[in-house]
């Protein structure tokens, strides 16, 4: 009753109470380098059409942050005051996705997607204070609001900037522009409340701190260490997708080191033990991830399954030095089954992980003999991933004998990953057929591609010093 009476005197809770710039700080084009020409043309088309229908719309989030940092964004997201149903009526080439918060995908030619979300409202507990034993985990978030409310309820200040293409200005309600300049990672509002609303924000904080080389603000770090066990409430399917995103950055080691420094690693991967950032750096798992990232920079292709195996290898150490002699498949399955279930790893990838681990002793056998045919083993679909695991494990331990064995298996025609769907590469990759050859559709079709076309095309024309005559001349 008292709370209700107080709320009547205070009036409706407002985002003005929790953000430093309630009216929105405009950073005009004279004070930053972002220009419309740098933006995705399809995202600008979406904004222009929404604006013509009377809906205020901006570019938002990671694309603005990356552009301010001088990086090339992977995608461009749009936020608008139009609701999902209104967006659908404007764009026939669109679909609604999401349960916790509905967003609209506008689909362009070639399957390209521009993600459009609606301004969200600020949860009441952000202003009224948390009640005793109140569960703040946000299961649904379809309350719409204003631009400043939407900015105030986002995760970090650096992800809450809007870009207005009409006058090429940045709109900042939370101080994110200054934090980018200072390379500070700061949670919006009370970190403990923010992390209870969405525990994955703690994981993302550790990820962005390592990925962007930002300093994690002291209160945010304190909140993570206090609320780290809330990570157990996060959806395992959502976390697996986050892990896959990390594996594709080429900075998996640095991010996992950041997870160790914040205390999240022991919650997410208890089998890796309780270690801080420096201890993780010299740990077996840390060394394996560090080598894998370096291999990526050397134009080697890896897969998401390889990274999962590098982590789960901690559970099956015996297979790398012949510690288990009989029924190795049963041994591997018993060791990794519980963690695969907890991490929500799909059945197909579990089978591949089992194959990778079971085949490790085979790499210690290099000579031909009865029942021992290296060429047949090399033809197995799991060979590439199993070999990479053997090679990285040998390098991480400094095992000269195992490294020599790896060199034996590496000799010969270049091997390629079995599937593009799980592929991780830092460089553009040509499509290949099942035998590792460049795909026919990806080969140059013009025999003269790359030659100087100003020179004569035939030997006779070259001798005569003239270009060949065209037919019928």
Rounded CA Rg of the chain: 27
- Confidence (pLDDT) at 456: 43
The catalytic position among 66, 77, 179, 198 is: 77
- Confidence (pLDDT) at 86: 96
- Residue 111 pLDDT more than 50? yes
- Confidence (pLDDT) at 327: 85
51, 165 contact by CB (below 8 A): no
- Confidence (pLDDT) at 201: 95
Q: pLDDT averaged over the chain?
A: 84
The catalytic position among 155, 172, 179, 198 is: 155
Q: Which residues contact 376 (CB under 8 A, 6 or more apart)?
A: none
What is the torsional sign of CA 240, 245, 247, 253?
A: negative
- Residue 243 pLDDT more than 60? yes
Spatial CA neighbour of 424 closest among 293, 287, 242, 312: 293
- 318 part of the active site: no
Q: How confident is the model at residue 25 (pLDDT cuts 50, 70, 90)?
A: very high
125, 157 contact by CB (below 8 A): no
Q: Which residues contact 418 (CB under 8 A, 6 or more apart)?
A: 303, 381, 382, 384, 385
Question: CA–CA separation, 51 vs 116, rounded Å?
Answer: 13
Spatial CA neighbour of 242 closest among 304, 157, 158, 311: 304
Q: Which two tokens stand for residue 85?
A: 């149903």
Question: What are the distances in angstroms from CA 1 to CA 6, 8, 379?
Answer: 9, 11, 73
- Residue 393 pLDDT more than 80? yes
Spatial CA neighbour of 168 closest among 63, 21, 23, 31: 31
The catalytic position among 16, 75, 141, 318 is: 75
Residues 29-63 pLDDT 10s: 999 999 999 999 999 999 999 999 999 999 999 99
Q: How confident is the model at residue 372 (pLDDT cuts 50, 70, 90)?
A: low
Question: What are the distances in angstroms from CA 74 to CA 34, 106, 146, 310, 396?
Answer: 16, 16, 26, 27, 32
The residue-averaged pLDDT of 353-362 equals: 92
- 172 part of the active site: no
Phi/psi class of residue 297: alpha, beta or left (left: φ > 0; alpha: ψ in -120 to 50)?
alpha
- Confidence (pLDDT) at 399: 79
Residues 155-204 pLDDT 10s: 999 999 999 999 999 999 999 999 999 999 999 988 998 999 899 999 99
- 439 part of the active site: no
The answer to whether the predicted template modeling score (pTM) of the entire model surpasses 0.85 is no
- Confidence (pLDDT) at 449: 41
């Amino acid at each position: 009753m008292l709370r209700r009476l107080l709320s009547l005197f205070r009036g409706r809770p407002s985002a003005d109470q929790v953000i430093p710039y309630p009216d929105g700080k405009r950073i005009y084009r004279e004070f930053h380098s972002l220009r419309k020409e740098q933006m995705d043309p399809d995202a600008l088309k979406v904004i222009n059409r929404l604006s013509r229908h009377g809906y205020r719309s901006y570019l938002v989030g990671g694309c603005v942050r990356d552009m301010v940092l001088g990086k090339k964004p992977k995608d461009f997201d749009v936020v608008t005051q139009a609701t999902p149903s209104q967006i659908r009526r404007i764009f026939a080439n669109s679909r609604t996705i999401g349960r916790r918060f509905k967003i609209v995908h506008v689909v362009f030619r070639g399957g390209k997607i521009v993600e459009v979300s609606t301004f969200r409202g600020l949860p009441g507990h952000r202003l009224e204070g948390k009640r005793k034993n109140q569960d703040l985990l946000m299961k649904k978030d379809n309350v719409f609001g204003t631009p400043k409310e939407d900015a105030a309820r986002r995760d970090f200040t650096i992800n809450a900037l809007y870009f207005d293409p009409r006058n090429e200005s940045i709109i900042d309600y939370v101080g994110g522009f200054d934090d980018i300049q200072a390379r500070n990672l700061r949670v919006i509002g009370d970190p403990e409340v923010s992390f209870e609303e969405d525990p994955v924000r703690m994981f993302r904080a550790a990820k962005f701190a390592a990925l962007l080389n930002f300093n994690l603000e002291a209160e945010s770090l304190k909140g993570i260490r206090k609320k780290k066990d809330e990570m157990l409430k996060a959806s395992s399917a959502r976390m697996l997708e986050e892990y896959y995103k990390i594996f594709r950055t080429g900075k998996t080691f640095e991010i996992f080191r950041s997870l160790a420094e914040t205390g999240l690693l022991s919650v997410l991967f208890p089998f890796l033990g309780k270690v801080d950032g420096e201890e993780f750096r010299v740990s077996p798992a840390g060394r394996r991830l560090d080598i894998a990232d370096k291999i990526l920079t050397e134009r080697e292709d890896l897969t998401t399954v390889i990274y999962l195996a590098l982590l789960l290898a901690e559970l099956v150490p015996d297979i790398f030095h012949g510690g288990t002699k009989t029924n190795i498949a049963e041994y591997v399955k018993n060791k990794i089954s519980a963690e695969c279930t907890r991490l929500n790893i799909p059945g197909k990838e579990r089978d591949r992980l089992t194959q990778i681990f079971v085949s490790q002793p085979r790499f210690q056998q290099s000579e031909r003999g009865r029942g021992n045919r290296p060429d047949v083993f090399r033809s197995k679909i799991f060979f590439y991933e199993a070999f990479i695991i053997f090679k990285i494990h040998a390098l991480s331990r400094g095992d000269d004998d195992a490294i020599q064995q790896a060199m034996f298996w590496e000799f010969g025609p270049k091997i390629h990953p079995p599937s593009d769907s799980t592929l991780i590469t830092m460089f553009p990759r040509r499509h290949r057929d099942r035998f590792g050859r460049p795909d026919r559709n990806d080969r140059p079709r013009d025999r003269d591609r790359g030659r100087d076309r100003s020179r004569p095309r035939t030997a006779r024309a070259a001798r005569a010093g003239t270009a060949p005559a065209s037919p019928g001349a």
